[in-house]
């Protein structure tokens, strides 16, 4: 979804042009999230002067071009604009700031069409008294707009975000004699909001300060300084009993809590410096420091590897070279410190390198990514699997009445792929649920259920809500995620990181195979107390050993698959993919990849259901891909293939290398044979490559398919 990036420098001389470059580079790192417009907001020439805005529909490259012209986008105003330049202003890009705060945003339209007016940052008025960038959806924005319109405030955009900016101004205007500090003002505003969000706020009333807040959408803060931090954490200021009494008394709509009056911006009770002891110098003097606020670590990695992740209802205040973290409300289950962690990823990992697209890079990285998922966990000499995160919970999981997998999209397909392995090795009933449908049905969950939540980003909104639903009902909740420090990894009881490396392309190719491997490893470890399953476990572990080399072998067929796509599929409008058993998930995942990156209609069909409707679609014009690798259901898939060929269907058959039973006139894709439950890892690679080549042939930007976002952080 939307991408947030903010940059704060203190006692560091920076030209305005450098600040703009930092912001645009940060946005470029967030492009994979999907967006349709981009914008930045930077300081004016004087402290307290209106923010300078640059906004553009399209890619970050278009925004860079707009900034290079040094003509700012005018803030929304009720005044008529000059026809010549729309009140745009020529900007001095060489001005130097000793300290500055700035923000940037990539927008994925949810309220209002993509346009410069609807693009972030959004401001409260023409003087940009309050400005902000936002990821998420405010569900009660219409009610807020009605209240604010009745109080005389005006709106210029179609977005939900503008209501929050105007609400900030209303709270400020409501207390002319009792000014709130920036943190308290933001707290007051957030208490009126419903929905999920991550915000960065800026105000001309509080120069060189920003406030960041989150609920449901990810947000992290990177710290860059030449000196070593005194401690590797930041203390959290919890609300006092007096704060909670004030909250309880605030019955009026948009009520403003009491504040100290001193003629300027009072700070209530002065913030204790012990809160930011990590940033204290030995002599107590201020030190140069830079902060980077972002939706994703990929945006800050080129600047620093020291980051801290905000929790839901955290409010971070950055001012005078210090970071203070407050809580919207007291919650004794949440830690009272936020650890400053060290990022393990490298800048090169999020660059395309020798490849033309991120999707292509990630397809070709899969031999390494599945090895990374297994590294340190699978001992091929002793044929044993050890997942340290699950070790303490194994007895509880084995006693569970049901294994409940909850996921969305590609992650859901990896759960479908692993379901038969869990049923076979654990003898525990398994249910696989789409997170959104699971929540819609208010599915019954019991204390002896084991719920496993699978998500590449760990920030998928529906999956997080489903997890919290299960936590409330006492189920053991486990996470299978790629992103360390994500909401799912922090809020579940335990889990497994898939260690697939950064996923930049929207297609999530690495995520599928690494999740698949991780789930199979969980099933193998759960069964290691069963002597009857020993031979099967050893067979699977031996198969895992060979998977990386087998994936490389399929990748070597890339040119042949490109030609196949050109000859048989490029001009088609629709495609069916059929299989059954372990390969049903492969059909679903292959169809999803083809439709999302090439825009061709494709459908994954269980071959056993062919006679229950899909057979009516078969004719000489419709291409059908059959996944017919050898396993116990091979004869049944052969029968389905015969039905298709009898009706003049045009099958493309994915089969094993030594299979001589396929029709001689059929187009075939031959892949190495492995253990039946792992064969899907090999079979999905040709489908990924076909989807990539079809997209390129159709002129599609595979890394930024239309209407899609990498990390879906709204319901």
Among residues 2, 470, 477, 587, the one annotated as catalytic is: 2
**Contact between residue 267 and residue 180 where contact means Cβ atoms under 8 Å apart:** no
Distance CA 482, CA 499 (A): 6
Distance CA 347, CA 364 (A): 18
Q: How many CB atoms lie within 10 A of CB 699?
A: 6
Distance CA 64, CA 54 (A): 9
Reading the block at residue 579, the tokens are 């299989």
Distance CA 566, CA 259 (A): 69
Write out the H or E segment, with its range, that includes residue 16. Answer: helix 16-29
At 75, is the secondary structure helix, strand, or coil? coil
Instruction: Evaluate the CA torsion angle 367, 368, 374, 380 in order and state its sign.
Output: positive
CA dihedral 478, 481, 487, 489 (to 10 degrees): 50
2 labelled catalytic: yes
**Contact between residue 417 and residue 586 where contact means Cβ atoms under 8 Å apart:** yes
CA distance to 12, 295, 367, 610, per residue, from 286 (Å): 11, 28, 49, 71
Write out the H or E segment, with its range, that includes residue 60. Answer: helix 60-68
Distance CA 28, CA 104 (A): 11
DSSP 445-499: --TTEEEEEEESSS--HHHHHHHHHHHHTT-EEEEEESSTT-HHHHHSSEEEE--
CB proximity list for 267: less than 8 A, separation 6 or greater: 181, 260
Nearest of 328, 136, 310, 126 to residue 217 by alpha carbon: 136
Q: What DSSP designation does 581 have?
A: G
Tally: H helices and E strands in the chain: 19, 30
Distance from the first to the final alpha carbon of the chain: 11
**Contact between residue 413 and residue 513 where contact means Cβ atoms under 8 Å apart:** no
Q: Strand 14-15 relative to strand 96-97: parallel, antiparallel, unpaired? A: antiparallel
Q: What DSSP designation does 180 have?
A: P
**Contact between residue 60 and residue 106 where contact means Cβ atoms under 8 Å apart:** yes
Q: What amino acid positions are annotated as catalytic residues?
A: 2
């Amino acid at each position: 979804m939307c991408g947030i990036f903010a940059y704060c420098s203190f006692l560091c001389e920076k030209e305005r042009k450098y600040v703009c470059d930092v912001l645009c580079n940060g946005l470029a790192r967030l492009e994979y999230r999907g967006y349709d417009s981009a914008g930045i907001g930077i300081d004016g020439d004087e402290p307290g002067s209106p923010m300078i805005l640059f906004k553009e529909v399209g890619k970050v490259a278009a925004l860079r071009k707009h900034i290079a012209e040094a003509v700012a986008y005018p803030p929304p105003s009720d005044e008529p604009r000059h026809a010549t330049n729309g009140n745009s202003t020529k900007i001095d890009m060489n001005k130097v700031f000793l300290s500055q705060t700035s923000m940037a945003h990539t927008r994925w339209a949810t309220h209002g069409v993509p346009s410069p007016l609807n693009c972030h940052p959004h401001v409260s008025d023409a003087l940009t008294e309050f400005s902000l960038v936002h990821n998420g959806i405010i569900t009660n924005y219409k009610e807020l707009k009605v209240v604010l319109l009745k109080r005389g405030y005006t709106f210029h955009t179609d977005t939900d975000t503008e209501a929050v900016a105007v609400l900030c101004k209303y709270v400020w205007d409501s207390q002319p004699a009792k000014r709130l500090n920036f943190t308290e003002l933001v707290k007051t505003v957030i208490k009126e909001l419903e929905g999920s969000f991550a915000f960065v706020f800026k105000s001309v009333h509080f120069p060189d300060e920003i406030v960041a807040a989150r609920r449901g959408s990810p947000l992290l803060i990177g710290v860059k300084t030449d000196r070593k931090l005194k401690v590797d954490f930041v203390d959290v200021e919890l609300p006092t009993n007096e704060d909670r009494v004030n909250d309880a008394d605030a019955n009026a709509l948009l009520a403003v809590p009491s504040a100290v009056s001193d003629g300027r911006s009072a700070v209530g009770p002065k913030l204790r410096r012990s809160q930011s002891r990590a940033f204290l110098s030995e002599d107590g003097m201020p030190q140069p420091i830079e902060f980077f606020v972002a939706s994703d670590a990929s945006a800050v990695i080129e600047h620093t590897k020291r980051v801290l992740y905000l929790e839901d209802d955290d409010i971070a205040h950055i001012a005078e070279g210090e970071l203070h973290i407050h809580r919207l409300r007291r919650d004794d289950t949440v830690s009272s410190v936020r650890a400053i962690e060290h990022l393990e990823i490298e800048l090169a990992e999020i660059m395309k390198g020798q490849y033309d697209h991120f999707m292509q890079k990630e397809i070709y990285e899969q031999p390494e990514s599945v090895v990374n998922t297994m590294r340190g966990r699978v001992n091929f000499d002793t044929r044993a699997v050890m997942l340290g995160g699950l070790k303490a919970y194994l007895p509880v999981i084995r006693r569970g009445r049901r294994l409940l997998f909850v996921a969305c999209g590609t992650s859901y397909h990896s759960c479908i792929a692993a379901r038969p392995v869990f049923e076979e090795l654990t003898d525990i009933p398994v249910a696989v649920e789409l997170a959104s449908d699971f929540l819609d049905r208010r599915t019954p969950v019991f204390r002896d259920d084991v719920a496993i939540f699978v998500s590449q980003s760990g920030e998928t909104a529906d999956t997080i809500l489903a997890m919290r639903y299960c936590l409330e009902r006492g189920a053991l909740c486990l996470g299978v995620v790629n992103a360390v420090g994500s909401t799912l990894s922090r809020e579940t009881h335990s889990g497994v990181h898939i260690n697939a490396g950064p996923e930049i392309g929207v297609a999530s190719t690495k995520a599928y195979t690494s999740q698949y491997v991780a789930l199979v490893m969980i099933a193998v470890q759960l069964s290691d107390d069963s002597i009857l399953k020993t031979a099967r476990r050893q067979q699977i572990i031996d198969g895992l050993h060979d998977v990386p080399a087998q994936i490389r072998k399929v990748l070597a067929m890339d040119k042949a698959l490109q030609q196949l796509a050109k000859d048989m599929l490029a001009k088609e409008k629709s495609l069916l993919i059929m299989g059954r058993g372990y390969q049903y998930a492969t059909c679903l995942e292959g169809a999803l990849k083809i439709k999302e990156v090439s825009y061709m209609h494709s459908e994954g069909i269980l071959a056993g259901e062919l006679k229950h409707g899909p057979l009516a679609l078969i004719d000489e014009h419709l291409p059908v891909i059959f996944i017919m690798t050898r396993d116990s259901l091979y004869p049944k898939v052969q029968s389905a293939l015969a039905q298709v060929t009898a009706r003049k269907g045009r099958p493309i058959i994915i089969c094993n290398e030594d299979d001589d039973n396929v029709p001689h006139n059929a187009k075939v894709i031959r892949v190495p044979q492995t253990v039946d439950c792992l064969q899907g890892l090999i079979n999905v690679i040709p489908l990924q490559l076909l989807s990539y080549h079809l997209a390129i042939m159709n002129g599609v930007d595979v890394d930024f398919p239309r209407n899609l976002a990498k990390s879906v952080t709204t319901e």
